[in-house]
Structure 1
Amino acid sequence: MQIQVNSKGKGRFIYQQIYRQIKEQILSHQVRAHHKLPPKRELAKSLAVSTNSVATAYDQLLAEGYIYTIERLGYFVEEIQRFDINDQITPSFPEILREEESSREGWISLSHMNANPKLFPFRKWLNCQAKIYEEHMDELSEMPHTQGPYILRKNIANFIYATRGVKCEPEQIIIHATSQGLMERLLMLQTTKTAFAVENPGYARYYQLLQRHQFKTHLIPLDDHGIDVKYIEQTNAQFVITTPSHQFPTGTIMPISRRVELLNWASRDEQRYIIEDDYDSEFKYQTDNVPSLQSLDYNRKVIYMGTFSKTLLPGMRISYMVLPTKLLAAYQEAFPLEIQPANNLALYTLNEFIESGQYEKHIRKMTKHYEEIRTALIEALSNNLTRDLVIYDIPAGLHFLIEVPTSKSYEEIEQAAQQEKLELYTLKRFSLNPLPLIQRNRLLVIGFANIQMEEVDEAIQRLARCI
C-alpha cells in the first residue's frame, strides 16, 4: 500500500488521511481481498506517526466493513465486489436542476403569503420558550402525542370558540406542520371513488394534491356570494373545500343565506362533508369577525381547518383541523402510530404564548397595523392608477383583489413584476382551469402582509409600470 501523510498541513487529521487512502485502495481493488494489512506499530513506524492514529484508522475501517480481524493474526482486507457503473449517467449535476442564490435586496412585496418579521414579538416568544424549559422538560424528552400536546389542543379549542364560534373538544383537534399535510391525511381516509368539489379560482395546492391522489375533482365557479351550491348539486361530490370567511383569492365573504344552503346540501347525504379552510380569518376590519361555518353546523358535517402561519410567521409551520366525531374515530384507527410532524418545542411555546395572553395581544396589534397598510394601499391605488381601476374592497384577511384594464397578458404582467422587483401574484396562479381568465380585464391579488408603510408609494409606481 502506498500511503502519504501530511502532518503539517491543514485539513484532515492524520488518522483520517490513513483511513481515506486505505479505503480508496480497497475500493479500487489496488489491494486484493484477504490481503493482510501491516501491523499497527509497523505501519505507524514507517509513516512516522503515532500508533494511536493507525489504530483509530483501522477501527474506522473495521466498523465500516472494509477490513476484518482474525485474533492473533491481524487485520485483513474484506472481499468487496466492484461497483457496477452505468456509463449513461453523467457525473456532473444537471444545470436544469441547479438553483441560483437569489437576493431579495431592493424587492417590495405585494404577496399575500408572507409576514412581517419586524413586527413579530421575538423577545416575548423567547420568554415563553424559556418558561417551557422550566415547566415542560419531561414532555420535551418524550415523543409527543400523535395529535399534538393535549394542553395546546385544549387552549386552541377555547380560543377558536371565543373568536370563531367553533364548538369542539380538544380530542377533536389534529395538529400538523402544514394544512396540506392535514388534507393529505383526510384523503387517505377516503376511497378512490370519493369525489371532491373545489372553488375556482381557488387554492391551487389543494387542487394539485387531489390530482396527485387521482380523486375526481369538480371545479365550481363563484358568484357574488362565494361558491355556487347549484353547481355542486349537479355533481357527485361528497366533499366540498371552501373558504367562506374570506374566499381565496377573490376575498368574498359568504353570507348567511349561502352558508345555510351549503350546510343543507351536506346534511342530505351521510357521506357528505364540508372542509372549511379558515386560513386568515383572524383579521377583520371595520366590523366584528364573521363566525365560522362550523359554528352553524348542527349536523356535524364541517371539518374546520386553521393555521398559525398567518398570525405568527410562515416558517413556524403549525396548522390544525377539527374533525367531526365520526371522522375522528376513523382517523384514530388509521393513524394510531403517526409521529407528530410539528416541532414539539414550538408547540409548547405556542401554548404558553396563548395562555399568557401574548397571542391575543399580537393579533390585535397586527390587525391595527394591517388595517393602516391596507387603507394606505387602497388610497394610493385610487389616486395613482387608471380611473377604470376596480378595487374589490372587502375588509378582511391579508389581501384584496383589483381589476385593471390593460392590453398586457398575465404572463407579461408577471414578467414585468420580476423586472421591477415587485413580488406580485395574478389570478392566473389561482385559476384551476382557463375559465376565470377569459374576461378582458386583468385581476391582481394585492397582499399587504409584508410591505412597509414607507414602501407603499414606490410599490404602486412599480405596479403602474407593470400594467
Structure 2
Amino acid sequence: MDQLQPPANRRSGANGGGRRVYDLLRAQMADGSLAVGARLPSTRALAADLGVARSTVTVAYEQLAAEGFVATAPGRSARVAAPLAPRAESRAPAGPGPLRAAALSAYGQRLAALELLTAQTSATESAPIDFLYGAVAARDFPTLAWKRAYQAELLRQRPSLYYGAPEGDPDLRQALQGYLRRARGLTCSAEQILIVQGAQQAIDLCARLLLDADSAYVFEDPGYVMARRCFEASGARGLAVGVDSLGMDTSSLPGDSGLRLAYVTPSHQFPLGGVLPVGRRQELLRWARQQDAWIIEDDYDGEFRYGQRPIDALQSMDTDGRVLYIGTFSKALSPQLRLAYMVLPERLVPLFRKAKRLADRHAPVMEQRVLAALLDSGAYERHVRRMRRENERRRNALLDAIRRHLPADAKVAGSAAGLHLVLWLPALRPRHEPQLIAAARAAGVGVYGVSPLFARPPGAMAPRPAGLILGYASLTLAQIDAGMQRLAGALAVLA
C-alpha cells in the first residue's frame, strides 16, 4: 500500500475531506502508480492509512466510479478501469494571436480589418474642459420626471413578466406617432415604428438587411464614421458624395448599377451642419426612385434648431415608401439610455421585426414604458423645449467666445442647429490638426479634428483649412469661455 501513502508535505486527517482523497488517487493513476486493472484497497483500509473517516473514502471512490476511472461491483474490490493522462504542466497564458481567416466568417474577416476608433475615443482621458460632440450634460437629464414615471411603472401590477414584442412597447409607439406628427411633420402609423437600442442598431439592421457584398451605397463625405463602418462590414462598395454648406451635393449622386441605398443626415448634416433644402431633397428622392434604392434618414438631433421651427423630416416628403427614418432619444435625454426608433416603409415592417427579434428580442421594456408616460403627459416635449433654450444659450456663448478670443479669420459652420459646430482655421492645414489637439489637451481643453470624418484622401478634394468639431451641450457658459481662451493659447503655440 506504499503507493497510496499521502505525500510527506500533505497533512493527514479529516480536514482535507473527500477532495484530498480523490486528488491523491487521481495523481497515482496519472503517474502510473495505479495502472489499469490495479486493485484499490478497501475503503476501511485506506481510511485507516490516511487517517480519515471511511465515509470520506467512500465519497471519493463513488466520484471516481461515476467518472469511469474506477470499476466497482458488489462483493469485489474496486479496480482502476481507465488510464488517466498526466495533467499538463501549468504554463503562462499565451498572448492573443491573430485569428486564422478560416476561423472567421466573411463578415468577421471584414470586421476584423476595420478600425472603429473615432475622434471621440482617441484620448484616454477626458480633458477638464471637453468640447466632446455627442455628449450632453448629466445635470440636464429630467431626473424628477423620470423618477416619478419609473416609480409609477414599478408599482403597476402586471400578471407576469415575459419578453416583449420585438417592435417595441405599443404605448410608446402610439405616443411616438403623435409626437413625430407634431414635432417633425412626419405622418405614419404606430405599426411602422420599430423601437431599437440606439440609432447604431438601426443602422446595423439596415446594413444587414439592405446590402450585399456585391452591392453599393452612397454616403456623405465627411460624415458619420460609425454608420460607414456598418455598411463597410457588409462588404458593399461605398461611394462618397461631397458635402457643402447645404448638405449633400445631390447633383453629384452617382448612377452606378447595384446602388442599394443612400445614408444622409438632411436636417443637420453631420458634421458640417448644413440643412438640406427642398430642391435637393426632391432630387434625392428622384434619384432613389430611378435607382430603385432606399434612403436612410438619420435625424440624430433634429429637435434642436435655433431661431425657427425645426425643419420637417425628409420622410414627410416621401411618396414612394423609400425612406427609412431613424430618430433617437440620445441627444434630448442621454446617449447612455440606448433607445431610438425607426419609421419604416410598410413593406419592410415584417422583415425588420424579424431581424430585431433575432438580434436581441426587444429593447428594455421598463424604459420604454417610462418614455411613453413622459410623452403622453407632455413632460418630454417640455423638456425638449427647455433643452433647446439651454443649448441655444450655450451655442451663443460659444460663438461669442470664438469672436472674442480666437483669430479674426476663424470661421464657423453648422451653428444654426444641433449640439455642435465646426470651427475652420484658415491659418492652419489639416495636417496641423493633431498638433493643435495635443497642444489644446496640454492646456486642459478637449477638441476634435474634422479630418478623421472624411473618407476621401486630401488629394481627391479641394484644399481646405484645418477644422475642429466643438460640441457644447455638456458644458457651462463659464467653461465655454475659458475653453476658448485656452484654445487661443494653444493656437499661439503653433503660430
**Range into which the TM-score falls when normalised by the shorter chain:** 0.7 to 0.9
Does residue 414 of the first structure (1) align with residue 437 of the second (2)? yes
- Deviation by residue 1:155-187 (Cα, 9 ceiling, x = unmatched): 222211211112222221222213222222222
- Where do 1:89-100 residues align within 5 Å? 91=94
* CA deviation after TM superposition for structure 1 residue 196, in Å: 0.6
Q: 1:258 to 1:134 in 2, by over 3 A?
A: same
Bigger drift between 376-385 and 306-315 goes to 306-315
Among all aligned residue pairs of Structure 1 and Structure 2, give the percentage whose two residues are the same amino acid.
25
Q: 1:338: Cα distance to partner?
A: 4.5
1:286 equivalent among 287, 307, 321: 307
Q: How does 1:4-403 map to 2 (within 5 A)?
A: 18=19, 22=23, 29=30, 91=94, 104=126, 107-135=128-156, 137-138=158-159, 141-190=161-210, 191-236=212-257, 237-269=259-291, 271-332=292-353, 337-392=358-413, 394-403=415-424
The aligned counterpart of 2:457 is: 434
Indicate conservation of the 8 Å contact 1:111/1:425, yes or no: yes
Cα deviation code 1:209-261 (max 9, x no counterpart)? 22221101100001332111221144343311100000000000111121122
Residue pair 1:26, 1:66 contacting (<8 A) in 2 also: no
Deviation at 1:292, TM superposition (A): 0.5
Counterpart residue number, 2:3: none
CA contact (8 A) 1:4 1:47 kept: no
Matches of 1:444 and 1:287, distance apart in 2 = 26
Shift in alpha-carbon separation, 1:255–1:77, aligned structure 2, 3 A: farther
Check 1:393–1:195 CA distance in 2 against 1; reply closer, same or farther (3 A cut): closer
Residue aligning to 2:115: none
**Aligned partner of residue 336 in structure 2, secondary structure:** helix
For structure 2, the 5+ residue unaligned runs are 1-5, 98-120
* Residue in structure 1 matched with residue 114 of structure 2 by the alignment: none
Q: Secondary structure in 2 aligned to 1:268? A: helix
User: Is structure 2 residue 470 aligned with structure 1 residue 450?
Assistant: no
Contact 2:167 / 2:356 at 8 angstroms: preserved in 1? Answer: no
Relative distance call for 1:46 and 1:210 in structure 2 (3 A) is same
Give CA-to-partner distance per residue, 1:356-394, whole Å, 9 cap, x none. Answer: 332222212211111111111110110010011111253
Q: For 1:429 and 1:401, locate their aligned partners in 2 and report how far apart those are by CA, in whole Å.
A: 13
How many Å apart are 1:197 and its aligned residue?
A: 0.3
Aligned partners of 1:26 and 1:77 also within 8 Å: no
Change (3 A) 1:446 1:103: closer
2:446: which partner in 1? 423
Alignment partners' CA distance in 2, 1:382 and 1:262: 36
Is the 2:29–2:83 contact (alpha carbons within 8 Å) kept by the matching residues of 1? no
Conserved in 2, the CA contact under 8 Å of 1:303 and 1:323?
Answer: yes
Change (3 A) 1:272 1:6: farther
Q: SS of 2:154's equivalent?
A: helix
Say if 1:147 and 1:340, in contact at 8 Å, map to a contact too: no
Q: CA RMSD in A?
A: 4.2
Q: Offset at 1:136?
A: 6.0
Paired residues of 1:111 and 1:424 also in contact (CA < 8 A): yes
Gaps of 5+ in 1: 8-13
Q: TM-score scaled by structure 2? A: 0.77
- The Cα shift of 1:21 comes to 9.3
Question: How far has the Cα of 1:289 moved from its partner?
Answer: 0.8
Counterpart contact for 1:107–1:422, Cα < 8 Å: yes
Q: Structure 1 length normalisation: TM-score?
A: 0.81
Q: Is the 8 A contact 2:356 2:362 kept in 1?
A: no
Over alpha carbons, which structure has the higher Rg?
2
Instruction: Determine if contact 2:71/2:80 at 8 Å carries over to the other structure.
Output: yes
